[in-house]
Amino acid sequence: LAKIYTDQDASLDPIKDKKIAVLGYGNQGRAWALNLRDSGLNVIVGLEREGNSWKQAVQDGFQPVHTEDAVKQADIIIFLIPDMVQRYVYREKVQPNMKEGADLVFAHGFNIHYKLIDPPSTSDVYMVAPKGPGATVRDFYTKGGGVPALVAVQQNPSGKAMEKALAIAKGIGATRAGVIETTFKEETETDLFGEQTTLVGGVMELMRSAFRTLVELGYQPEVAYFETINEMKMIVDIIYEKGFTGMLKAVSDTAKYGGLTVGKFVINEEVRKRMLEAAEKIRSGKFAEEWIEEYNRGSPTIKEGLEEIENSLEEQTRRRLKEIIERGKPKS
């Protein structure tokens, strides 16, 4: 069984007198910097350039500094910049400026697991990986809750890496929910698998395929949109609150019977074979290699994909239905 830690298992003590450099002020960076500060910790925001993040950090009451200046003062250095950027910033700004023995902390294991960053043996290297978007990490925290996270230790010369990982997890609110102990390998591989096959890729393509099937059969796109895309949130909300059992209780018997039989017919062995293939590609490092190459070519596939989706009939239909969706949202 997984080892789970909650608030009572974690103390801020091991990091309360340390200077914590949060590198990056985007999705996770902003949430972490704000939550850690509100938890009474000593945070400095380090950024590469005086762009949008810089302005936002100033608006939030931070005095951001350039990466190298944050790193020079820091006892704990947290990487919250894009995965593909981390190794360059590490090589050029972090490694040459860090105090000996400063901690290196990650929110995702990619750069360590695939050996893109090779940390000094004198540093503790650990991870706190929230299992939710940055905006939610902040929102739950301010409302007294917390997004669950995974914690892992890769290097532990001080012998205190896990205590510090738990302290960071407490500082961002994650232990209010609970954190699960894992390894960099398990977090990296499962995170990539989840986003590819389910959370980002799988769910989106499932909804799009269903939408397009209905439209090709001559049904109105607006009707198809409500049925195969918009209603997903309501169903997922029930799964989140009450599990699959609760969801199945909330739908009609007709939907239960159809769902239990046709679901398995559509998402069949063939699909699961492909999931295994996706997992293999992650585990072998082939996906990482491919992504690094894509990034180095200026991410043409991302650009093309985003453009295709933005212009798709699904998104056009959503734009037409936007007012209905907005008007219907709960008012309090």
| Site residues (vs ligand NDP, CB under 6 A) | 24-29, 47-49, 51-53, 80-83, 85, 89, 107-108, 129-130, 133-134
Q: Minimum Å distance from CB 113 to Mg ion?
A: 12
Residue 148 binds what, of ligand NDP, Mg ion, none (CB under 5 to 8 Å, by partner type)? none
Cα–Cα distance, 41 to 44 (Å, whole number): 10
Q: Minimum Å distance from CB 50 to ligand NDP?
A: 8
Alpha helices in the chain (DSSP H): 27-38, 52-59, 67-73, 83-89, 110-113, 134-142, 161-171, 174-177, 184-194, 201-216, 221-225, 232-250, 253-266, 269-283, 286-296, 300-310, 313-328
Cα–Cα distance, 206 to 201 (Å, whole number): 8
Cβ–Cβ < 8 Å for 68, 93: yes
Cα–Cα–Cα angle for 47, 49, 55, nearest 5°? Answer: 80
The answer to whether residue 187 forms part of the interface with Mg ion (CB under 5 A) is no
Q: Minimum Å distance from CB 280 to Mg ion?
A: 18
Q: Which of 19, 30, 37, 108 is catalytic?
A: 108
Q: Minimum Å distance from CB 216 to ligand NDP?
A: 34
Cβ-proximal residue to ligand NDP, closest one: 26
Would you call 108 a catalytic residue per the annotation? yes
Residue 133 binds what, of Mg ion, ligand NDP, none (CB under 5 to 8 Å, by partner type)? ligand NDP
Residue 109 binds what, of ligand NDP, Mg ion, none (CB under 5 to 8 Å, by partner type)? none
The answer to whether residue 191 forms part of the interface with Mg ion (CB under 5 A) is yes
Nearer of residues 14 and 130 to ligand NDP, judged by Cβ = 130
Which stretch in 163-171, 184-192, 248-256, 289-297 sits in contact with Mg ion by CB under 5 A? 184-192
Q: Minimum Å distance from CB 219 to Mg ion?
A: 34
Nearer of residues 194 and 259 to Mg ion, judged by Cβ = 194
Residue 82 binds what, of Mg ion, ligand NDP, none (CB under 5 to 8 Å, by partner type)? ligand NDP
Cβ-proximal residue to Mg ion, closest one: 191
Q: What pairs with residue 126 in β-bridges?
A: 105, 153
Cα–Cα distance, 52 to 285 (Å, whole number): 33
Q: Minimum Å distance from CB 153 to Mg ion?
A: 19
Read out DSSP for 185-248? HHHHHHHHHHIIIIITHHHHHHHHHHHHHHHHTT--HHHHHIIIIITHHHHHHHHHHHHHHHHH
Cβ–Cβ < 8 Å for 81, 26: yes
Neighbours of 235 (CB within 10 A): 13
Nearer of residues 153 and 224 to ligand NDP, judged by Cβ = 153
Cβ–Cβ < 8 Å for 117, 96: no
Nearer of residues 163 and 191 to Mg ion, judged by Cβ = 191
Nearer of residues 137 and 215 to ligand NDP, judged by Cβ = 137
Residue 182 binds what, of Mg ion, ligand NDP, none (CB under 5 to 8 Å, by partner type)? none
Please state the separation of Cα 320 from the chain's center in Å.
30
Q: Which residue numbers are catalytic?
A: 108
Residues that bind Mg ion (CB under 5 A): 191, 195
